[in-house]
Amino acid sequence: MTELRVGLLGLGTIGVGVARILIEQKELISRRLGKEVRLVAAADRDLATDRGLDFSDIRLSDDANDIVTADDVDLVVELIGGYEPARSFVMTALEHGKHVVTANKALIAKHGEELFPVAAEKGLQIGFEAAVGGGIPCMKALREGLAANAIESVYGILNGTCNFILTKMENEGADYADVLKEAQALGYAEADPTFDVEGIDTAQKLSILAAMAFGSKIKFEEVFTEGISKITAADIESAHEMGYRIKLLGIAKPHGAEGEVETVEMRVHPTLVPLASQMAQVSDSYNAVQISGDFVEHTMYFGRGAGERPTASAVVADIMDIASGFPDGIAHLAPPMGFVQSSRRDKPTMPMADTECEYFIRLMVKDKPGVIASVTSILADHRISLEALIQKERHASHNVPIVMLTHETTEGNLQAAISRITGLEAVEEDDVLILRKESAVA
Amino acid sequence: MTELRVGLLGLGTIGVGVARILIEQKELISRRLGKEVRLVAAADRDLATDRGLDFSDIRLSDDANDIVTADDVDLVVELIGGYEPARSFVMTALEHGKHVVTANKALIAKHGEELFPVAAEKGLQIGFEAAVGGGIPCMKALREGLAANAIESVYGILNGTCNFILTKMENEGADYADVLKEAQALGYAEADPTFDVEGIDTAQKLSILAAMAFGSKIKFEEVFTEGISKITAADIESAHEMGYRIKLLGIAKPHGAEGEVETVEMRVHPTLVPLASQMAQVSDSYNAVQISGDFVEHTMYFGRGAGERPTASAVVADIMDIASGFPDGIAHLAPPMGFVQSSRRDKPTMPMADTECEYFIRLMVKDKPGVIASVTSILADHRISLEALIQKERHASHNVPIVMLTHETTEGNLQAAISRITGLEAVEEDDVLILRKESAVA
């Protein structure tokens, strides 16, 4: 029976999960593929810890270089995470003719455009299903399942930490800081939560999804990114009263005449989604991705976005895909980014000022006559019409919260109006929150 | 550039959709694949109707035999539907060395086990993504995306007609017969709706999903099947009061010791699902499939289950998969049923009497003292405990509806109790409805 030999970099949580599947599901995997997948070697700086698995048939090393250059390894699984040394190890593995599977979204988002051409030239595959949406096979759905479609939009709840925090804030009426502490205690948030709560993790994943959807290049640093740290329990309640739930979404859409992708819109921010939508039901640390195409219409993919076992499931799915094409190279696999490397195009990111949205605006104003008139007349000057306006009860501070929902306008126009509004003497500049609304989520 | 030549059987709704994609998305498809997919021939008994597409480069025939034996066709798309002549044409196509893609669930459910070995022996692929879940790439998710998992359960809303009717009955408080008429007028239900509303279509799809999930053989005729035609608006309301929504689900689970699949549970029936579940939000003609695996936990796939464009999207995804492996045969593709043909095993279907469930029981009883006591003491005799019992207002008929929700018991035990209950003089046998409840849907 044909055998694919796997070398594993990193025996942390996910690495142990991958090793566990390759050992425990050995028979299932060969029944599915008609081929063997064998874990031959693994590297980790810490070889002393007992991982509860029988590694007696597996070569262990404390140096990843032993794996990426080994003659008896056909495929390297990179689960070190971060930019370096992950990038160098992956590059060396490719240079030594090894396929690569990784769960590292940071690596793909930042260095993918350097790695993909090397892989393509050498007839090697890079699999990264686990990098976006954890266990959900959404990369495969987008790349292969929806391949007959021009993709019209991608919406994703891509970060379980943020979704856990927002769900708890809503269910308990609690404020951000309190729930963050609880999430940290439960292990759902890091000690330094910036990467998750400020939307950076979501932006990395979105940049990969967008490039795969539209046949463009990955431009993580150009994604407009806002996190959830300014949202209050009162904002969540106001949104709810208006018929919406707040979710941190990554959103990508193509723009151009006659189906040509000319620019790519990419933004990550807290978003109002209709309460009755599928997306609004995605709670706790679950993830979901909605992908719409010109033929298929709306589709959605839901599941665990993180964790040892779900993430390992996605890593091993990639390994099995590559095993299908093995040993004859990857001429028979869908290209990693869903378009053959030579047809991927460098498309500019749409300037955020040009994007169009409906907005949720929360202001704190001094309780004086005429303030609402001043605010609404500035919006009218900018031809921004209102769908709803709620004036809440006065705070202890004698300031009054006002919440508005606008009809569609451009970000540039909205920001110009907001800048005039925050210039009003009666408006507290620090207490302005702008959220965006998406009615098109299914 | 390598070219895959496609011949199309049937220019009905889906056939026109497939032709439309292959013509309109020609450039997109070759940018993705680095290969050309060309529609070279199509057959339909009616060639007179104008389909609004430019067929000038395509050979048209009124005889499908011209396509399935043609030298210049590499892949045959069967969109005739039904058992015969579809089966014969597909068999002839395989015998002539052509890959096959079909949207025909009846064909796969009934004749798949005859067709797959022929395809495997000749190194040919049979694609049928469109046969289950319409545009949703759920076959690919199950076969490839979750390939590292032992599948623990499959739950699906697989028939858009039933889901449309149940959604409308709930939203409008309307009865089955009225909504069916409306659905027929709107084209959502056939003149003879039996195939859809009695669950046969769902059972065909479920039998395919189950065999793919568990590496077993397709046993459509052994699926326990109940439809939605006995459900009343009052039942939907009672379920809602208890925290559930009624959906027609196909359910498949494996049973056996230590992860071995010894028997396969397959049932199609109206099912109570928790109101807050993802599954409960799937409304109108949308479909959804929940697949749970031992590593990935719960995943769900949602989208359009029918219609020209979504179904054509799935058909062309299959064509593109085969084009990826072309012209070197299918050694590099995942096998059609997710397990290599030689490792697929014939597993018995679990007898329905042995399945375990929680039950929703609606009875009509004569308004006399002691009736409820008689009913509940029979249940107690059978060690069936109740989670809830609601006695509704008396009907005009002077009969009183009683609704009960039980804890878990076997179907055999439940049926034995019900048979004693309907033997009571005070119980109207024709007015007994048994629904099943699934708390494990996500």
At A336 the pLDDT is 95
The Cα–Cα gap between A114 and B200 comes to 52
At B396 the pLDDT is 67
At A430 the pLDDT is 78
Q: Is the pLDDT of residue A203 over 80?
A: yes
Residue A398 falls in which region: left (phi positive, over 0), alpha (psi -120 to 50) or beta = left
Q: Which residues of A touch B37 (CB under 8 A)?
A: none
B132 close to B102: Cβ distance less than 8 angstroms: no
At B258 the pLDDT is 80
> Percent of chain B at pLDDT above 90?
88
Q: Is the pLDDT of residue A434 over 70?
A: yes
Q: What is the pLDDT of residues A288-301, one digit of tens each?
A: 999 999 999 999 99
B58 close to B40: Cβ distance less than 8 angstroms: yes
Under the banding of pLDDT at 50, 70 and 90, the label for residue A325 is confident
Under the banding of pLDDT at 50, 70 and 90, the label for residue A131 is very high
> What residue of A is the nearest CA neighbor of B141?
A137
Q: Is the pLDDT of residue B164 over 80?
A: yes
Q: What is the mean pLDDT of residues B194-199?
A: 97
The Cα–Cα gap between A310 and B172 comes to 40
Q: What is the mean pLDDT of residues A309-338?
A: 90
Under the banding of pLDDT at 50, 70 and 90, the label for residue A330 is low
The Cα–Cα gap between A90 and A86 comes to 6
Tokens of A373: 């008139």
At A304 the pLDDT is 95
Mean pLDDT taken over chain B: 95
B293 close to B151: Cβ distance less than 8 angstroms: yes
Q: What is the mean pLDDT of residues A107-126?
A: 96
At A329 the pLDDT is 61
Q: What is the pLDDT of residues A102-111, one digit of tens each?
A: 999 999 999 9
Q: Which residues of B touch A137 (CB under 8 A)?
A: 140-141, 144-146, 299
Q: Does B13 touch chain A (CB under 8 A)?
A: no
Give the CA count within 13 Å in the CB-facing half-sphere of A278: 30
The Cα–Cα gap between A60 and A62 comes to 7
Q: What is the pLDDT of residues A172-190, one digit of tens each?
A: 999 999 999 999 998 888 8
> Percent of chain B at pLDDT above 70?
99
> What residue of B is the nearest CA neighbor of A143?
B32
Tokens of A351: 């300037």
Q: What is the mean pLDDT of residues B141-158?
A: 98
Domains of chain B: 3-135+309-343 (3.40.50.720), 138-304 (3.30.360.10), 352-437 (3.30.70.260)
Q: Does A149 touch chain B (CB under 8 A)?
A: yes
Q: Please, what's the b/e burial string for A344-371 (b: 16 or more CB within 10 A of its CB; e: otherwise)?
A: beebebbebeebebbbbbbbbbeeeeeb
Site of tokens 């008609």: A34
Cβ contact (<8 Å) for A278 and B282? yes
Cβ contact (<8 Å) for B309 and A297? yes
Q: Does B215 touch chain A (CB under 8 A)?
A: yes
Q: What is the pLDDT of residues A211-258, one digit of tens each?
A: 999 999 999 999 999 999 999 999 999 999 999 999 999 999 999 987
Q: What is the mean pLDDT of residues A354-375?
A: 92
Mutate to test the interface with A, among B152, B282, B296, B341 (most CBs of A within 10 A): B296
Under the banding of pLDDT at 50, 70 and 90, the label for residue B329 is low
A270 close to A252: Cβ distance less than 8 angstroms: no
Under the banding of pLDDT at 50, 70 and 90, the label for residue A331 is low
Enumerate the β-bridge partners of residue B224.
B267
Secondary structure of residue B93 in the 3-state scheme? helix
At A391 the pLDDT is 87
At B243 the pLDDT is 95
Mutate to test the interface with B, among A13, A20, A29, A299 (most CBs of B within 10 A): A299
Q: What is the mean pLDDT of residues B55-68?
A: 96
**Which of A164, A127, A143, A186 has its CA nearest to residue A313?**
A127
Q: Please, what's the b/e burial string for B384-399 (b: 16 or more CB within 10 A of its CB; e: otherwise)?
A: beeeeeeeeeeeeeeb
Mean pLDDT taken over chain A: 95
Q: What is the mean pLDDT of residues B249-278?
A: 95
Under the banding of pLDDT at 50, 70 and 90, the label for residue B368 is confident
Size of interface A-B (CB pairs under 8 A): 223
Q: Which residues of B touch A315 (CB under 8 A)?
A: 148
Q: Does A160 touch chain B (CB under 8 A)?
A: no
B369 close to B284: Cβ distance less than 8 angstroms: no
> What residue of B is the nearest CA neighbor of A22?
B148
Tell whether B170 is in a known binding site: no
CA of A23 to nearest chain B CA: how many angstroms apart?
A: 11
Q: Does B298 touch chain A (CB under 8 A)?
A: yes
Q: Which residues of A touch B281 (CB under 8 A)?
A: 276-278, 281
At A440 the pLDDT is 85
**Which of B302, B308, B251 has its CA nearest to residue B278?**
B302
Q: What is the mean pLDDT of residues A18-37?
A: 96
Tokens of B78: 């069967």
Q: Kindly give, in sequence order, each residue whose CB lies less than 8 Å from that of residue B128, ignoring residues fewer than 6 positions away.
A: B101, B102, B103, B104, B105, B108, B139, B208, B318, B336
Q: Which residues of A touch B313 (CB under 8 A)?
A: 146, 148-149, 293, 295-296
Looking at the annotation, which residues of B are catalytic? 205
Cα–Cα separations (whole angstroms), residue B313 to A251, B130, B136, B245, B301: 23, 8, 9, 30, 15
Regarding predicted confidence, which is higher, A191 or B29?
B29
Mutate to test the interface with B, among A295, A301, A313, A324 (most CBs of B within 10 A): A295
Under the banding of pLDDT at 50, 70 and 90, the label for residue B325 is confident
